[in-house]
Amino acid sequence: MLLTINQLTKQFGGLSAVNDVSAVIEESKITAIIGPNGAGKSTFFNLISGFHQPTSGRIELSGQDITNMRAEHVARLGVGRTFQTTHLFEQATVLDNVLIGHRLRTKAGLFDAIFRTKRERDEKKKCLDKALEALEFVGLTSLAYEQAHSITQEQQKRVAFALALATDPKLVLLDEPAAGVNPDETEGLSEVMKKMVKRGKTVCLIEHKMPMVMSLADHILVLNHGELIANGTPKDIQKNERVIEAYLGGNSNVSA
């Protein structure tokens, strides 16, 4: 297992946003996390990626305990992520946005930057190569020198993917990668996620778009009120009574 989660709980005051969740994320697979609004999906991501510390429970990445590690440390161990909204520097180019993201994750410090040490120059070159490689991977090479404000929502999602890939993660967490894009574009983004898996990555996404989830995911985890209420293949999930009930209660639709 790439990620093993054991009895994970996060309380905010009296509210259990994630409540006693145990699950695994298998290597080289696409796992989707679904559930009605407020189910605890983003909190779950924040716990895995070290942005929140759990109240109790344990998280292991390839057998290593990462439970109380900070986000930078978890990122260095191979977990990349995107957020529900991508804030780009609008007046900068697409390439510069990716470069800035890469630079924030690399080692050269202020001393190196001021004195332009060899390490700084080497890292700069490495960052440029990595950024161009990431842009090519997500299909944005032709837009590298466009201003970020001029690209579409779908292209912004691709930039977010490129940023998440910056640290060469083993596990990529994508928070609503297809929110706000049309069905054709959703298809294109699904292709990029499949390509990530082909290149040896493990993908875990939170998504509300059921047709996309059902056709893309190998495995689905369903959260409701912080609890894991179902866990299985898309087929299992679509006929699961508790899932149908949770979605009907929220006026959402779980069928593809």
Ligand X SMILES: Nc1ncnc2c1ncn2[C@@H]1O[C@H](COP(=O)(O)OP(=O)(O)OP(=O)(O)O)[C@@H](O)[C@H]1O
Chain positions contacting ligand X, by CB under 6 A: 12, 15, 17, 35, 37-43
Amino acid letter at 5? I
Closest separation between CB of residue 17 and ligand X, Å? 3
Q: Which is nearer to ligand X, 42 or 86 (CB)?
A: 42
Q: Which is nearer to ligand X, 39 or 166 (CB)?
A: 39
Nearest 5 degrees, angle CA 71-CA 75-CA 81? Answer: 90
Closest separation between CB of residue 205 and ligand X, Å? 12
CA dist., res. 97 & res. 159, Å (int): 8
Helix (H) or strand (E) holding 101: helix 94-104
Q: Which is nearer to ligand X, 12 or 111 (CB)?
A: 12
The helix/strand/coil state of 141 is: helix
Closest separation between CB of residue 242 and ligand X, Å? 16
End-to-end CA distance of the chain: 28
Closest separation between CB of residue 48 and ligand X, Å? 12
Q: Which is nearer to ligand X, 21 or 135 (CB)?
A: 21
Closest separation between CB of residue 171 and ligand X, Å? 18
Q: Which is nearer to ligand X, 135 or 216 (CB)?
A: 216
**Distance of CA 185 to CAs 56, 84, 88, 154, Å?**
39, 17, 20, 7
The helix/strand/coil state of 17 is: strand
